[in-house]
Amino acid sequence: MVVVSRNWLYVKEFKGEPKEENFELVDEELPTLQDGEFLAEAEYLSVDPYMRPYMGRYPVGSLMIGGQIAKILQSKNKAFPEGVRIFGQFGWRTHTIFNPNKTQGEKPYVLPDFGSLPASLGLGILGMPGNTAYFGFLEICDPKEGETVVVSGAAGAVGSVVGQIAKLKGCQVIGIAGSDDKCEWLKKLGFEHAINYKTQNILEELKKAAPKGIDCYFDNVGGTITETVIRLMNLNGRISVCGTISNYNSVPVQVADPQRDFVFKQLKMQGFIVSRWGHRWLEGINANLNWIRQGKLQYEETVTEGFENMPKAFMDMLKGGNTGKAIVKV
């Protein structure tokens, strides 16, 4: 029996916002399984902001990159037996033959037991975005009780978790997001303030919401929002630079003088890629899982149905169409 995978290829370089023409759906006949390999079938696939800048490193014709939750259909590898659910960085494809011992990239892993929670969370709050929030916020911002924390991209997969973890640590939390609905959701999550950057004056709203200034900033967006936040940071403030989604589709931008604030406020800014904490991966997942079970951490998913709709899900997410984690259900 020949297995056919449907694959989304990157067939034209991104310029500005991604469009349908950048992608092409093709079929691939998979070969017979060899020793050490398994065959996995995608159940959920992830669309994430990082894919936009990262694809620039790959030649046209490459498979679109990305993670997926998949079920092992056949296996010649004892660590990945038939029937288990895994997370794998396999790209935008429905079926994958893979030998984990031969990859130089990220190794797939069997999903931890989520109990009654959906497996799709392995792409979000119990996966890379959740760990990005957990490590990227706690390790770099090192938040203290009573401090004021600002999160940009606050209603996204990462930002919504950062804000909730900040609340768990006893901080005052201000979220910046792109719609009134998102802002309402942030308040339900316990954020003290939520600012709609599309309709409100960010500087004025931040001044009101953070009368004592800002101690920690978790930055998902970059650009002018970031310039504005930096102006209100306190002495010895910390900035964790997770992403710069506002600039993924365009450069340059007009900015103020962030370096001057860096000197006078003795700020620390650090960029990170979550894989630096790869050796502590399950620690992050289990911490978030326990908080969810204790009712202390909430999540939302924006689900697009159908593998054929992956480009649409990706483009919508880049425009801010999602609340919480954007995923595709095959």
**CB nearer to a second copy: pick between 257 and 283:** 257
**CB nearer to a second copy: pick between 189 and 242:** 242
**CB nearer to a second copy: pick between 26 and 256:** 256
- Cβ atoms < 10 Å from Cβ of 111: 18
Question: Positive or negative, the Cα torsion across 132, 135, 140, 141?
Answer: positive
Q: Which of 4, 75, 3 lies closest to 34 in space, CA to CA?
A: 75
Q: CB-side exposure of 54: number of CA atoms within 13 Å?
A: 13
**CB nearer to a second copy: pick between 269 and 303:** 269
Query: What is the rounded CA–CA span in Å between residue 322 and residue 300?
Result: 9
Q: What is the DSSP string of 62-103?
A: EEPP--EEEEEEEES-TTS-TT-EEEE---SBSEEEE-TTT-
Q: Which residues bind a second copy (CB under 8 A)?
A: 53, 219, 222-223, 226, 241-244, 247, 251-257, 259-273, 276
Query: What is the rounded CA–CA span in Å between residue 270 and residue 247?
Result: 18
**CB nearer to a second copy: pick between 112 and 258:** 258
**CB nearer to a second copy: pick between 120 and 220:** 220
Angle at 258 between CA 255 and CA 261, to 5 degrees: 145
**CB nearer to a second copy: pick between 70 and 242:** 242
Sort 38 into a burial class: Cβ within 10 Å, 0-12 / 13-18 / 19+: buried
Q: Which of 270, 209, 198 lies closest to 241 in space, CA to CA?
A: 270
* Cα–Cα distance list, 103 to 94, 157, 261 (Å): 19, 28, 44
